[in-house]
Amino acid sequence: MRLVRSCIYAGQILHDRRTPVRNLFRYGVYMWLVDLAELEELDRRLWAFGSNRRAVTTIRSRDHLGDPRRPIRVNVDAYLRLHGIDLEGGAVRLLTNARVLGYVFNPLSVFYCHGPGGELRCVIAEVHNTHGERHCYLLRPGERGRADTEKEFYVSPFLTVDGRYRMTFAPPGERLAIQMGLEQDGERVFAASLTGTRLPLTNRSLGRMLVRYPLMTAKVTSLIHLQGLRLHRRGVAHVPHSRRAPQEGVG
């Protein structure tokens, strides 16, 4: 099997909180973009990778939507059926962090869902918070990859669960670009972006990323808590968390 779709993106994430105090930071990352049909082949070819098994770095069903006992692709198709969408066998590519030494936290994973002719039919933006909860936004990007949706999920303890997300998903190619802004009461209160450059998914490139970004997923969690501490010290009001029922088909 020739691997033509799966790759790694090396780049950076930028967060820009604009109110009530300005807090901007950026950090280097790498993320996986995997064609779900290639997971088993990646398991065989990459010395440090395992699909649903222990390895230096892994992608597991339980870290994403649906039944953790089933393959990710089966769960994606089941979720889409709940919304009347049939990809007719088209490819699904997942942009995500993989587990590193058994640990992962994914603030955002993105499923690019294609029809049999390769056209992008929809995007699933899968969001996790630090309370162990998961929420999926089903999006249909229009012109220039733009999509809007109401905010429905508690993420930051410093932002209320209201407002509207405005997102842009450029088709992943040699470059990766995702932008997201949150608007509340007509004002953009938060913006984030992910940009990256494509690397072939080989033992060499994966080894380079593991050396360059050791404990990548633990770094993500640590930075979230560090920025939260800084906002708390600057007097930003805390929004209490209220647990919510899981979405159907998401878990």
The pLDDT assigned to 76 comes to 98
How far, in Å, CA of 238 to CA of 8, rounded? 36
- Both tokens of 126, joined, read 């899968």
* Residue 238, domain member (yes or no): no
The pLDDT assigned to 3 comes to 53
Domain residues for 131? Answer: 7-233
pTM greater than 0.75:
yes
* Residue 122, domain member (yes or no): yes
| Helix/strand/coil for 58 | strand
> What confidence tens digit (pLDDT) does each residue in 70-128 have?
999 999 999 999 999 999 999 999 999 999 999 999 999 999 999 999 999 999 999 99
* Residue 66, domain member (yes or no): yes
For 126-133, the CB contacts below 8 A with 24+ separation are 126/64, 126/65, 126/250, 127/153, 127/155, 129/153, 129/154, 129/155, 130/105, 130/221, 130/224, 130/225, 131/241, 131/243, 133/243, 133/244, 133/246
Task: Give the helix/strand (H/E) hosting 205.
Answer: helix 203-212
Task: State the average pLDDT over residues 197-216.
Answer: 94
How far, in Å, CA of 120 to CA of 113, rounded? 6
Backbone angles phi, psi at 220, to 5 degrees: -60, -50
* Residue 133, domain member (yes or no): yes
Total number of domains constituting the chain: 1
How far, in Å, CA of 176 to CA of 192, rounded? 14
* Residue 248, domain member (yes or no): no
| Helix/strand/coil for 19 | coil
Residue type, 198: R
* Residue 245, domain member (yes or no): no
* CA–CA–CA angle 62, 214, 132 (5° rounding): 30
* Residue 249, domain member (yes or no): no
> What confidence tens digit (pLDDT) does each residue in 176-202 have?
999 999 999 989 999 999 999 999 999
* Residue 243, domain member (yes or no): no
How far, in Å, CA of 70 to CA of 220, rounded? 27
